[in-house]
Amino acid sequence: MLMLLIDSGNTRVKVTYLINQFRQTEDLLVLEHDHIDKLHDWCNTLPEVPVRAIGVNVAGEVIAHKIQQALPASCPLQWLVAQAQTLHLKNSYQHPEQLGADRWMGLLGLSEHRQHPELPAMLVSFGTATTVDTIDADNIFMGGLIFPGVMLMRASLHKGTANLPAIDLRKSEVPPAFAHNTEQAILSGIIAAQAGAIVRQWKAVLDKTGHPPTIFVTGGARHGVLPELHRLLNDIAQVKGFDTITLQEIESPVLDGLRIYARAEWNH
């Protein structure tokens, strides 16, 4: 039996599949919203006809409808939402269903990556928006942050002002603390805002739990922020007396979470 797993984000859709609980990681389809129709052709190349699809969608009803239309007629699609509890993961949101389904499944997906589950864990996702979410050692979602992503910050400065240019954000370097030109100042400001928010949240988790959280990062915009984030974390590690602060890159925590959910269903 083949089941599709779908992560429908704000700009792209990721699709993979399971056959009898085993994920075929080499078969990962990534589509921009304008090319969702290609999902139909991809499904025709699969080793079996998919009999079911589960996923999360934060891109709105129009995109959800396009995805459904691209699937085989015999493949029902179920969109999952955040709940008060999903498997071992518990939700502390005042209204659990208001938590983004992608954030929720991403946190569930951390189960595959946490080498020290006795410590809290932070998931930082660099997408259209940057999100910073935390679970404690008891798998309780403590809360999180949402703020404009790297590209949104860049676009807002360029479009919202008369003279600020649209800068190249593909560089992976620690920006100067004292910029000497406008492009450098914008780059430094954006990266400082992103990295600073993450470090602030890391310290908040340490203060609340008494334990340093492991940081997991994902998303295509992470590469420009990571050098500065590493620098800040190394600085705070020295101040706090830690040998190091663990930071791990992961590619698809939402799909990992969907796979965990699907396997749990199969086992029942």
Residues 154 and 200 in one domain: yes
Query: How far apart are the C-alpha atoms of 16 and 6, rounded to whole Å?
Result: 7
Residue 23 within any structural domain of the chain:
yes
How many domains in the chain? 2
pLDDT at 190: 94
Q: 78 and 121: one domain?
A: no
Q: Which residues are annotated binding-site positions?
A: 7-14, 93, 100-103, 128, 182
Domain-embedded: residue 88: no
Give binding residues for substrate as ranges.
93, 100-103, 182
Q: Which residue of the set 37, 102, 138, 243 is catalytic?
A: 102
Could you tell me the residue range of the domain that residue 121 belongs to?
A: 114-249
Q: Are residues 163 and 223 in the same domain?
A: yes
- Backbone region of residue 139 per phi and psi (left: phi > 0; alpha: psi in -120 to 50; beta: other values): left
Q: Is 76 a domain residue?
A: yes
Q: Is 102 a catalytic residue?
A: yes
Q: Is 218 part of a structural domain of the chain?
A: yes
Alpha-carbon separation of residue 178 from 26, 60, 135, 185, 188 (angstroms): 44, 41, 36, 8, 8
Shared domain for 222 and 160, answered yes or no, is yes
**Is 235 in the same domain as 130?**
yes
Could you say which of 82, 105, 125 is where a domain stops?
82
Report the pLDDT value the prediction gives residue 108, as an integer from 0 to 100.
98
Residues 6+ apart with CB under 8 A from 2: 17, 18, 19, 46, 47, 48, 49, 50, 51
Instruction: Provide CB contacts within 8 A for 212, sequence distance 6+.
Output: 119, 202, 205, 206, 240, 242, 245, 246
The answer to whether residue 104 sits within a structural domain is no
Q: What is the CATH number of the domain that holds 40?
A: 3.30.420.40
Q: Are residues 30 and 70 in the same domain?
A: yes
For position 23, what pLDDT does the model report?
A: 62
Decide if 42 is inside a domain. yes
What's the pLDDT at 170? 67
State the binding site for ATP.
7-14, 128
Cα distance between residue 231 and residue 179, in whole Å = 18
List average pLDDT for each run of 10 residues in the chain, which is 268 residues long. Answer: 96 94 77 97 95 97 98 97 98 96 98 95 96 98 97 93 84 80 92 97 97 96 93 92 91 96 86
Angstrom distance (rounded) from CA 173 to CA 44: 43
Give me the pLDDT at residue 214, please: 96
What pLDDT, on a 0 to 100 scale, did the predictor assign at position 172?
Answer: 62
Would you state the pLDDT for residue 68?
A: 98
In-domain check, residue 123:
yes
